[in-house]
Amino acid sequence: MRLITEVASAAGISEEHLELYGKYKSKLAPTLWDELKHKPDGKLVLVTAVNPTPAGEGKTLTTIGLSQALNAAGVKTVAALREPSLGPCLGMKGGATGGGKAQIVPADEINLHFTGDIHAVTSAHNLLSAMIDNHMFQGNVLGLDPQRIVWKRVMDMNDRSLRSIVTGLGDGNGTVRESGFQITTASEIMAVLCLCDNLADLKLRLGRMLVGYDQLGQPVTAKDLGAVEAMTALLKEAVKPNLVQTLEGTPVIVHGGPFANIAHGCSSVIGTRYALKLGDVVVTEAGFGADLGAEKFMDIKCRQAGLAPSAAVLVVTVKSLKYNGGVRKEELYAGNREALLSGLSNMERHIENLGKFGVPVLVALNHFEGDAPSEIEEVLNACSRLGVPAAVSKVWAEGSAGGLGLAAELKKLLDREDAGGFAPLYEDSLDIPSKINKIVTEIYRGAEVAFSPAAKRSLAIIERLGLQQLQVCMAKTPYSFSDQPRLLGAPEGFTMGVRDITLSLGAGFAVVITGNIVTMPGLPAKPAAEGLSVDEDGVIHGLE
Amino acid sequence: MRLITEVASAAGISEEHLELYGKYKSKLAPTLWDELKHKPDGKLVLVTAVNPTPAGEGKTLTTIGLSQALNAAGVKTVAALREPSLGPCLGMKGGATGGGKAQIVPADEINLHFTGDIHAVTSAHNLLSAMIDNHMFQGNVLGLDPQRIVWKRVMDMNDRSLRSIVTGLGDGNGTVRESGFQITTASEIMAVLCLCDNLADLKLRLGRMLVGYDQLGQPVTAKDLGAVEAMTALLKEAVKPNLVQTLEGTPVIVHGGPFANIAHGCSSVIGTRYALKLGDVVVTEAGFGADLGAEKFMDIKCRQAGLAPSAAVLVVTVKSLKYNGGVRKEELYAGNREALLSGLSNMERHIENLGKFGVPVLVALNHFEGDAPSEIEEVLNACSRLGVPAAVSKVWAEGSAGGLGLAAELKKLLDREDAGGFAPLYEDSLDIPSKINKIVTEIYRGAEVAFSPAAKRSLAIIERLGLQQLQVCMAKTPYSFSDQPRLLGAPEGFTMGVRDITLSLGAGFAVVITGNIVTMPGLPAKPAAEGLSVDEDGVIHGLE
């Protein structure tokens, strides 16, 4: 690892603008922005993927490896990634810092507390929670309806026992009511932190956040509770982007990590802006597959921030295509041409969809040991038939060397005359049901949308409060275009059920909940935490 | 503010041993210990106080101001303080970084997230909590009794609604059971962090922590649950001491902050050890008044760590003595010679008590504007009659200049031949009831101890499990020597009721609960959070 001061220096950042966290991590001071803001922006490239499968696609890996390869090819490139959440690291998932020769480092510190941003979100969120219950306890001047508090508590831990709880029991402990915890990445504050432009915008957004309704049915916000300034104080460091590096010394901005279902699942706008000033190309990623991640990246993050992505890289693997073609997880290592050809429908659908945003697409075939040459050939041939450039990526095994082909194809794409026609899918002026309908029919290819009674009540509130201009944030299973996780490939004609719609007024979107969305994961029978160890020198093992 | 690299350099710490957190905070790397460990220790001075009153005594202030004054007088001095907890900062208390010209800086960062130590404790604690419930959910191989889980969850927030909750409600969310949250500083992990000597000792202590009992009544520990290594991974940075400075550039180690009732209320052993190598004198403090704070400092921290304090500074104020003499809070500004003379009994008792540990005492009369010269004279005369040195301290108004008299008296005391006769109050070999009895009769001056049925059941468990060698950690109202908060001055002959006894096996003590001890504070009608603001430059106002 190079010292972060050296990485920064190579990226044109002088030490005065660094706020170091140890020797290998740094926050970037607002003074740096003053210096950078007049520079032209680099080109923004989104790494997205087919629908995720149990085999793993390698989006983060590809983002890191591609950035390394671009730098190796002489293109000044910065990666922009999300911060890993502690809960999943200790639960099912392990770390979220790439792998093999395409990793960001120091991986253990990034995976655990990093620079404390997620802890700051937890604190700010739970301060507001405490102030809500305290407000009711101290006389409830605002007339908050304890049955209609929508603001829960958060913890960065996988703890299913906290999903549904009763609080305020015992004498003198406040109002007894049902509530629960979400994982911190599901906090609206995380979405707000990732969408805001600066401290002033952060305050405005925090103030708009809906905490519940009063006994007359009027909305009550964080601003009404007097919590905005204190939350801002808790978040004032977290709003500064973090700089780390890849194993090859490529600068990486790792900042923010909102949930990809009930939030928009992209790293921060502020971090992206810094990256665009520092790199001629910025490679970033979005959560889940392109149906969710890319759509929200384009329709929420890019729209709100006025960003225009120049290209999208769609990560596919032979295994994920076979899985989408109906092969079970256990049999993915065996060749199965028929399933592969069938599963290509999933890739094709995503390619078509990305075209609807006016963004040119490049397919990255993330290579796994055991992929048959004939299978790789089938995927590349399919791309060729679709007129879409593609390249095999071996960044896990080879680092930048394994990504040079991909980097070369991307350079060609970025140099094309027709690059730069980005537009969001829908207009803000459409009403919420029409926005949902447009995403469901044009991206998911469902036939129609069915709103539950609860969703209809929520739509009536949206109508009454005049909130049709909000964007929509779809909370849907990532495994299928539909709301049924087992409907793989490229289904169509289905009915998309909307169970409820909630309001993230600070983030600026209505969350459209389809199916059963879990916002507090549980631990598996053998949590990843049990596999960790710390040696005598304080080095952590078992977390990658 | 000087750069922390400069403060470190002046203290003899080279930059290679620093792990910077921004420009003004640093963790001290274990490599520094390798360099320091063979040096002789400086002298350890405890700042304690009379029983706390609503007027405030100024222990932290005096610790900081005295350190500054000693340095000004040419004595190389380092202060060792506790980390402020976020919850009280945003609730009733405001910041905990001193005041006036005797402050540690950067105050806002120290008061809020600092270097993330308390967040790390929260994470480690709640990981264990999640693993306990997950263990029961996944088949309960250990046979944990859900009714006898003693390990709660924690949050660094004042939130009374979380004191008593029911978790695990809903389908598939685990075992429904009663539980609750404590504030993080009440976590046994905080006590463990503050008493451990190094990573290896940390692991041993974490492993011993009691989480509950199985269905046969046998204790189940964190080690049994396989949580030790992952908790250690989460704590590996938190265990490193933090270096900051006072307004005058005196180096200060701020590390750890356990509750002063259900835990021992002192900053970390590791931090104290570093400080003793860096300073010829180390000034540190303990929570509450000397009956609780000093007793636990001597009997728990110093005993476990093999430290021998050379002197104790007892902070008194004219107002606190009048309050102990029966004057109500609202009338403390008026002169009242009779009440002052009566309240001196409280000071006298604490002086006598400190003598029982073989530690010479110096009285610091913390001066407040409005103190009458005649009142100050009375206090100094009383000290003179008791043969105890005393000095007026004006460090709030004057910084080091206002503490030179106190520093001079302390130097004289430390140079005395008879300094250094420290011994704990009780032997480890006494059984738990005898240890409690000794503290109650010799320190509190109660006539006897009355154990409740619950306490008797706990004593039976202690007997059965062979745990008599534990130290005792008294959880008592800080406002009185007795268990009745309104019994001020120097009461005697009372009966001390013990409500329950809990086991902190990682910390190495049995917690003796007298009266109603709240381990999760609530917010007041107007929380301190509402008074905060952040200006356009990101500077926090309203937190001092």
* Contact between chains at B138 and A525 (C-beta distance less than 8 A): yes
Identify which of A139, A161, A170 has the shortest CB distance to residue B168.
Answer: A161
The pLDDT of residue B419 = 60
Closest residue, chain A, to B127 (C-alpha): A157
Give the whole-number percent of chain B exceeding pLDDT 90.
Answer: 96
Which amino acid does the sequence have at A312? A
When mean pLDDT is compared across A487-501, B139-153, B529-543, the lowest value belongs to B529-543
β strands within B406-523, DSSP E: 448-451, 471-475, 495-498, 500-504, 509-513
* Confidence band, pLDDT 50/70/90 cuts, at residue B420: low
Helix, strand or coil, per DSSP, at residue B202: helix
Contact criterion met (CB below 8 Å) for B506 and B187: no
- Cα(B460)–Cα(B458) distance, rounded to whole angstroms? 5
* Contact between chains at A233 and B534 (C-beta distance less than 8 A): yes
- Cα(A417)–Cα(A413) distance, rounded to whole angstroms? 9
The pLDDT of residue A340 = 96
- Long-range residue pairs from B435-438, CB within 8 A, at least 24 positions apart, any chain: B435/B471, B435/B472, B436/B472, B436/B474, B436/B498, B436/B512
> Annotation-wise, does B524 bind a ligand?
no
> Annotation-wise, does B475 bind a ligand?
no
Contact criterion met (CB below 8 Å) for A386 and A379: no
Q: What is the pLDDT of residues B348-395, one digit of tens each?
A: 999 999 999 999 999 999 999 989 999 999 999 999 999 999 999 999
Determine the distance from the C-alpha atom of residue A521 to the mean position of all C-alpha atoms in its chain, rounded to a whole number.
Answer: 16
Identify which of B126, B162, B232 has the shortest CB distance to residue A167.
Answer: B162
Query: What are the residues facing A28 on neighbouring strands?
Result: A18
Per-residue tokens: A96:
């979220």
Q: Vertex A241, ends A238 and A246: CA angle to 5°?
A: 125
Q: What is the mean pLDDT of chain B?
A: 96
Predicted ipTM of the assembly? 0.96
* Contact between chains at B169 and A166 (C-beta distance less than 8 A): yes
DSSP characters over B92-113 = TS---SEETTEEEESHHHHHTT
Determine the distance from the C-alpha atom of residue B273 to the mean position of all C-alpha atoms in its chain, rounded to a whole number.
Answer: 16
Nearest-Cα distance to chain A for B169, in Å, is: 5
When mean pLDDT is compared across A7-21, A463-477, B81-95, B293-307, the lowest value belongs to B81-95
Average pLDDT for B329-351: 95
The pLDDT of residue B217 = 95
Residue A224's CB is within 10 A of a number of other CB atoms, namely: 18
- Cα(A53)–Cα(A363) distance, rounded to whole angstroms? 17
Q: Vertex B258, ends B254 and B261: CA angle to 5°?
A: 140
Unique residue bearing structure tokens 């006598």: B352
- The verdict on whether omega for the bond into residue A521 sits within 30 degrees of 0, i.e. cis, is no
Query: What pTM did the predictor assign?
Result: 0.97
Per-residue tokens: A219:
């909305």
Contact criterion met (CB below 8 Å) for A424 and A299: yes
- Cα(A178)–Cα(A184) distance, rounded to whole angstroms? 19
Q: How many residue pairs bridge chain A and chain B with CB atoms within 8 Å of each other?
A: 215
The pLDDT of residue A36 = 97
Tell me the average confidence (pLDDT) per consecutive run of 10 residues in chain A, 544 residues long: 97 96 95 96 98 93 98 98 94 84 96 97 98 98 98 98 98 96 98 97 98 97 98 98 98 97 97 98 97 98 97 97 95 93 98 96 96 96 98 98 98 82 96 98 98 98 98 97 96 97 98 94 95 94 83
Unique residue bearing structure tokens 């199985």: B214
Give the whole-number percent of chain B exceeding pLDDT 70.
Answer: 99
Helix, strand, coil tally for chain B in percent (to 5): 40, 20, 40
Residues of B in contact with A533 (CB under 8 A): 229, 233
When mean pLDDT is compared across A323-337, B231-245, B389-403, the lowest value belongs to A323-337
Contact criterion met (CB below 8 Å) for B69 and B403: yes
The pLDDT of residue B477 = 96
The pLDDT of residue A289 = 97
Which amino acid does the sequence have at A428? D
φ and ψ of B265, to 5 deg: 70, 25
> Annotation-wise, does A84 bind a ligand?
no
> Annotation-wise, does B58 bind a ligand?
yes
